[in-house]
Amino acid sequence: MMKIGILKNSIQEYAWGSHTAIAELMGRALPSKKPQAELWMGAHPKAPSLVRYGDQWISLLELIRKNPVEMLGKVVSEKFNKQLPYLFKVLAVARPLSIQAHPDLEQARRGFAREDSKKIPIDAFNRNYRDANHKPECICAMTRFWGLNGFRRVPEIVSRMRKVCGPELSKEIDGLEIMPDPKGLQLFFKNFMNLGANQKKIIINKSIQKAAKLSGDDPIFEWMVRLYDEYPGDAGIFAPVILNLICLEPGQAMFIRAGELHAYLEGTGMEIMANSDNVVRGGLTKKYLDVSELVNILSFVEKKPEILVPLAKNSLESVFPCPAKEFILSIIRLDGLNIYQGPDDRSLEIILCTKGKGHILDLENHALELKKGTAVMIPSAVQKYTIKGKLILYKAAVSV
C-alpha cells in the first residue's frame, strides 16, 4: 500500500477566489461556476486529500493514522505526534482577503481549549480556533502577487495617515508620534479599530477623497481606494497605510510569522503552512471579526518584510529559506534531459505539477504520469523515486 499515489484535492469556494486560476491549472471548464479560492493538498481534518490506489480513493488522513511511520518516517512521526505537519495550497486571490493574523502555538492551544469549553462548534461562524496548532506560512508568487505584511515604521504610518486623515483622527495620530514604540502602536491600532460607527464613517468618507487624489502617484493610496470599493464602510481600507505593501514577482516569496498582521490582495501563489486553519480577523471581510482577540495575539513590532528567493539545492531544485520546522517549499525544473532523484532520507512529500509533462517512477519502475494540475504524494517508505520529463514542479517536504 505504501506507494506513490495520485491525489484528489478539495477546492475551497470562498467569495474572494478566482473563476479561472485554479480551473485553468486543473484543466477544467472556464470560468468556474463559483469562485475557487484554495486548492488544499494534505491531511487537514477539514478537507483531507484522497489518494488513488488502483480503483480506490483513500483519505490521506486515514492512511497516516493507520501507518504513521511508513507514511511520515520515524523521526517526523514522533516529532509531530503521528500527523503530517504541513498543509499545501494553491491560492487564487481575485479579491482582497481579510486583514488577519495567526496565533503562536501556546495561543492556539489556549484559544482552542477556551472555545471548546464554551461549546462553540468547530464550524461555527464565531469560532477563531478550529484546531490547537499554530500557522506559520509561506506564499510563493506564481503570478504578480500583491499583499500586506507587518506594521510599517511608525514615522511612515504617521506621515501617510496625516496625508489622508483630517482633524477627526489627530489625537490618535499625535499619540502614536509621541509614543513611537510597540506599546504606542498597539494603543493606536486598538483605538483606531474600535472607533464608533459614526466617527469611523466620517473619517473614511473624508480620507478616501484625499486618497483618490493621491492614488495616481502612490500604489499605497491606489490600494486604499480599491479596498474602499470592495468594503466601503470598513476601517481596514487603511491597511495599506499602516502595513507594508508588497508586490511579489513570480518566483519570489514571503514568510508570515505568528502574530504578524497581513492580508493577500491579488494574485495566484503556492502557499505552504503548518497544518492549521486558525485565523483571527480584523477587517475586510464578512466573516467573523474579533478585534479584541486580534490585538491579544498581534506583534506590534515594526518590520521590513524580507522578499525570499529560492536558493539552489542542486542544478534541478531550489529551496525557499523559511525558518518553520513544519515544512520546506521547493521548486523543481526539468528540461527533458536531466532526471530528478528524490532524497533517500525524507518524510512524506507532496508534489504538484504546474507546467509540462513527464513521469514519476519508484525503484521498481512503477510509473505515474505527471502533467499540469497533477499532484502526487510520496510516502517515506518509498525507498527511491525519480522524475523525468519537461516539467515545473512545486514540492512540499519536512526536514528530517
Q: What is the CATH number of domain 5-148+248-288?
A: 2.60.120.10
Q: Which three cell numbers stand for residue 304?
A: 521590513
Indicate if the pLDDT at residue 172 is higher than 60.
yes
Q: Which helix (H) or strand (E) holds 228?
A: helix 219-230
Predicted pLDDT of residue 217? 87
**Torsional class of 4: left (φ above 0), alpha (ψ -120 to 50), beta (otherwise):** beta
Q: At 400, is the pLDDT very low, low, confident or very high (cuts 50, 70, 90)?
A: confident
Predicted pLDDT of residue 2? 79
Q: Which three cell numbers stand for residue 42?
A: 494534505
The predicted model gives 219-224 an average pLDDT of 97
The C-alpha cell 493610496 sits at 221
Indicate if the pLDDT at residue 342 is higher than 90.
yes
Give the integer Cα–Cα distance in Å for 349 and 279: 25
- Cβ contact 222:248 at 8 Å: no
Annotated domain spans of the chain: 5-148+248-288, 317-397
| 5-148+248-288 and 317-397 share one fold | yes
Q: Report the mean per-residue pLDDT for the chain.
A: 95
Give the integer Cα–Cα distance in Å for 309 and 249: 10
pLDDT digits (tens, 9 = 90+) for 73-110: 999 999 999 999 999 999 999 999 999 999 999 999 99
How many CA atoms, within 13 angstroms, populate the side-chain half-sphere of residue 60?
Answer: 36
Taking CA atoms, 24 is separated from 92, 119, 133, 152, 340, in Å, by: 11, 41, 32, 36, 26
Q: At 59, is the pLDDT very low, low, confident or very high (cuts 50, 70, 90)?
A: very high
Active site residue 281: yes
Q: Which of 134-143, 221-230, 362-371 is predicted least confidently?
A: 362-371
Indicate if the pLDDT at residue 1 is higher than 80.
no
How far does the chain reach from its first CA to its final CA, in angstroms? 23
Predicted pLDDT of residue 108? 95
What b/e readout covers 154-170, taking b as 16+ CB neighbours within 10 angstroms? Answer: beebbebbebbbeeebe
Nearest Cα residue to 231 out of 195, 206, 251, 204? 204
The predicted model gives 369-387 an average pLDDT of 96
The C-alpha cell 484535492 sits at 9
Catalytic site residue from 127, 130, 281, 346:
281
What b/e readout covers 95-126, taking b as 16+ CB neighbours within 10 angstroms? Answer: bbbbbbbbbeeebbbebbeebeeeeeeeeeee
Give the integer Cα–Cα distance in Å for 316 and 141: 19
Q: What is the 3-state secondary structure (H, E, C) of 76-136?
A: HHHHCCCCCCEEEEEEEECCCCCEEECCCHHHHHHHHHHHHHCCCCCCCCCCCCCCCCCCC
Domain 317-397 has CATH 2.60.120.10: yes
Predicted pLDDT of residue 160? 96
pLDDT digits (tens, 9 = 90+) for 174-219: 999 999 999 999 999 999 999 888 999 999 999 999 999 999 889 9
